[in-house]
Amino acid sequence: MSKRRPYRRPIAANWWAKPPYRAYTTRELSGVAVSIYGGVLFAGLVSLFRGPESYETYLRFLASPLSLGLHVLLLAAVLFHVVTWFQTLPKTMPHVVVGGEPVAARTITRIATLAAAATSLALILFTLWVSR
């Protein structure tokens, strides 16, 4: 008797680069940018711990054109990540009903984005207030 083999659908090697997977892949790769930026901040903490000379070297690196270009790219990727994160939010949470009517996904996304922006602004203002 022959052994039964289940059907396995052929999958192209670049399946991740085609719609609708391309958007998902791009969003997940933007998470790498978030972790890289976390690494940049962690490197600053390590250099601060090592002493003033090390921290001055870190600050000089941050002022270099390479670092500024890297930060522009990382900022764009992080902003993309934040926007797509909040667009995913209504799809992953339970349906919200207010006054007997379901809350639109667009409304949930806007409220979450505004809350994140307000929190970020408050953190920036607090940091500026503390550092004066």
Domain definitions of the chain by residue range: 16-91, 93-132
Please state which of the four CATH numbers 1.20.1300.10, 2.40.110.10, 2.30.30.100, 1.10.3720.10 is assigned to the domain occupying 16-91: 1.20.1300.10
Name the pTM for this structure: 0.75
**From CA 32, how far away is CA 11, in angstroms rounded?**
26
User: Could you read off the pLDDT tens digit of each residue along the chain, which spans 132 residues?
Assistant: 678 888 988 988 898 888 888 988 899 999 999 999 999 999 999 999 999 999 999 999 999 999 999 999 999 999 999 999 999 999 998 988 999 999 999 999 999 999 999 999 999 999 999 988
**From CA 81, how far away is CA 123, in angstroms rounded?**
20
Q: Is 99 left (phi over 0), alpha (psi -120 to 50) or beta?
A: left
78-100 pLDDT, tens digit each: 999 999 999 999 999 898 899 99
